[in-house]
Structure 1
Amino acid sequence: MGDDTGTPGDDRLIAITLDEASIERGNPDVEHERAVAVYDLLEENRFQPVGGPKGPYRLMLSIRENRLVLDVADEAGERIVAHILSLSPLRKVVKDYFLICESYFTAIRQAAPAQIEAIDMGRRGVHDEGSRILMERLEGKIAVDHDTARRLFTLICALHFKG
């Protein structure tokens, strides 16, 4: 199986901590999105700090002065690197995502299945756009695949909009 050189499965997150000091509890929909994104992200992800040691990794996410802080540690909890990204490039897409999510959550309570499906397609499109921007912002810092970027984008939304 694995050897001292590491395996591709080592380049993954095994723990995610959300900084309580920079996050307020959200409404049930936001909390649900956050919990699902964390669960999905930990179940399957590709995450590798560029030029860093082999994983697996622990990640602490926080928001400080409109900047996303990704504090990456090794399996034992020793800090490897912290990357600070401006959230300004994501501001519009995050706003659009939350507006469409609000419509989606309202629709699943009272709309016809066809309406729910149409809103969900729009939500996925905006989510993909946010994921692409996030991957661009992480380029040269942290290598992630598309699915990992999508799940990280969901977490960023949950952090940025405090409910």
Structure 2
Amino acid sequence: MSSDAKDSVHRLVAVKLDENSIGRSNPDVEHERAVAIYDLIEENTFAPVGATGGPFALNIAIADNRLVFDIRTPAGDPVVTHMLSLSPFRKIVKDYFLICESYYHAIRTSTPSQIEAIDMGRRGLHDEGSRLLLERLESKVATDFDTARRLFTLICVLHWKG
């Protein structure tokens, strides 16, 4: 199988958020969620361990402080469901939001070198969250670091209140 054919199989082609458990938010947050989903679908590597075939659709919900990854075929047939505790992500997401606020404030008031230093910290926290997500998915879903970054962005957006 060529790598292009393999890549088209081991990927997400749809991501849907469960409105009952996640809810809707203000237009700014909804826009950020849509952008995060678009970026994730545009480029990803996603293969549930033990699953044959693909591509996949991912339905995301929250239940009992857990992130629910309901993985299906594009036609909607169940493949596997994984639940990830959100607790390990809580501090990183909180710190990430704090540094993002500092970054947006710095853009208006700080020197380029100060902005760059804050942005390096922001990227470092984002990488830390992405590595944690890779670890949590390790025996569940084969993915790469870039996909984990996009998934972590989506997790952060799910927590953003606007």
**TM-score under structure 2 normalisation?**
0.88
Distance 1:101 1:32 in 2: 17
Compared CA separation, residues 107 and 26, structure 1 to 2 (3 A): farther
SS at match of 1:80: strand
* Contact 2:24-2:30 within 8 A present in 1 as well: no
- SS across alignment from 2:52: coil
> For the Cα contact (< 8 Å) 1:63–1:159, is it kept in 2?
no
Q: Distance in 2 between matches of 1:80 and 1:37?
A: 23
Shift in Å, 1:8: 3.1
Letter in 2 for 1:144: T
Matching residue of 1:86? 85
- Once the two structures are TM-superposed, the CA of residue 26 in structure 1 deviates from its matched residue by 4.9
Residue 119 of structure 1: how far off its partner (Å): 1.5
Corresponding residue for residue 157 of structure 1? 156
- Runs of 5+ in structure 1 lacking a partner? none
Aligned partners of 1:108 and 1:60: how far apart in 2?
Answer: 35
Alignment of 1:12-51 (within 5 A): 12-21=11-20, 22-26=22-26, 28=28, 30-51=29-50
2-structure distance, mates of 1:99, 1:90: 14
Deviation digits for residues 68-113 of structure 1 (CA, Å, limit 9, x no counterpart): 0011111211111111110111111111111111222223344333
Deviation string 1:29-68 (CA, Å, 9 cap, x unpaired) is x445433321211111000000012211111112222110
Deviates more, 1:142-151 or 1:61-70: 61-70
Match of 1:100 in 2: 99
Could you list the runs of 5+ residues in structure 2 that have no partner in the other structure? Answer: none
Q: Identity over aligned residues, as a percent? A: 63
Q: Is the 2:70–2:81 contact (alpha carbons within 8 Å) kept by the matching residues of 1?
A: yes
Amino acid of the structure 1 residue aligned with 2:49 = V
CA contact (8 A) 1:16 1:59 kept: yes
Q: Taking structure 1 as reference, are residues 139 and 26 closer, same or farther at Cα in structure 2, changes over 3 Å only?
A: farther
Matched, 1:130 2:98: no
Quote the residue 1:8 is aligned against: 7
Equivalent AA in structure 1 for residue 14 of structure 2 = A
Would you say the 8 A contact 1:57–1:75 is kept in 2?
A: yes
User: Aligned partner of 1:154: which letter?
Assistant: T
Name the SS for the 2:158 alignment partner. helix
What amino acid maps onto 1:18 in structure 2? Answer: L
SS at match of 1:7: helix
Q: Distance in 2 between matches of 1:31 and 1:120?
A: 24
- Structure-2 separation of matches of 1:27 and 1:109: 23
Q: How does 1:68-79 map onto structure 2 within 5 Å?
A: 68-79=67-78
Aligned Cα root-mean-square deviation (Å)? 2.0
2:54 alignment counterpart: 55
Task: Kindly state the Cα deviation for residue 149 of structure 1 after the two structures are TM-superposed.
Answer: 0.3
